[in-house]
Structure 1
Amino acid sequence: MTQNNVPSRQIATIPTGRYFSYNCPQGFAGNFKHGWAGQGVTLFEISVRTHDTNTYYDLSVINGFNVPMKVYAPDGTKIQALNSQAPDAYLYPTDDTKTHGLRGDGKFVIVFE
């Protein structure tokens, strides 16, 4: 996990077939990834009520792709990055149609495949 303007830190090592739960506080803006420094990684990026009462999120493969990822949002939206050209993910920095938002916050499920 990386929170914006804070050094990266590992919050969990999740064995195959297991899960981990993490609560992002109001004002959190950062990303979740499978892997660490030195390689391009698939990112789930999220901002929880940072500028208003909404939560904004997206997937990004701008800096690389290392593992397929699916995200299930609290409102039922599903986005996925199954390869380096994933239509649901940011492919370049101004690919802004890929940002999703929802009122408030809630439980997101992130699946690394």
Structure 2
Amino acid sequence: MEVKAKEPKVRFGEFTGKWEECRFNEIYKKINEKNDLSFGPDKIISVANMYYKPMRDSTKSKIDYMKTYNLMRVGDIAFESNKSKSYSYGRFVENIIGDGIVSHVFDVFRPITSYDLFFWKYDVILKS
């Protein structure tokens, strides 16, 4: 049985307490906001690379299909379930670029409480 550390290895000056363990659904909620076409083809977010990847073909059928896209606000995270050598179980990707839309194949989660937008980004760097 693995014993989890109660004290962090890296500390910030103001932090003196023990780790607080919580479940994912205590800090994020799954959202199902669909695009009402407030966001156009120029606001499609590439989850794999976290940049705007505009739709090449903007025909009427493609524009109507954008109604199936999920809204993704700054600070939301998308679950990319594609497995790879680097991500055996998929991965969570935080939106740090701006509000936009993502394909309906991605689940989008919104933070329940406020936090520093770059927390996860730097948390991963510190652990590497």
* TM-score of the alignment, normalized to the shorter chain, above 0.5: no
Provide the TM-score with structure 1 as the length reference: 0.30
| Larger proportion of strand | 1
Highest RCO, 1 vs 2 (Cα 8 Å, sep ≥ 6): 2
Greater CA radius of gyration, 1 or 2? 2
Provide the TM-score with structure 2 as the length reference: 0.28
| Larger proportion of helix | 2
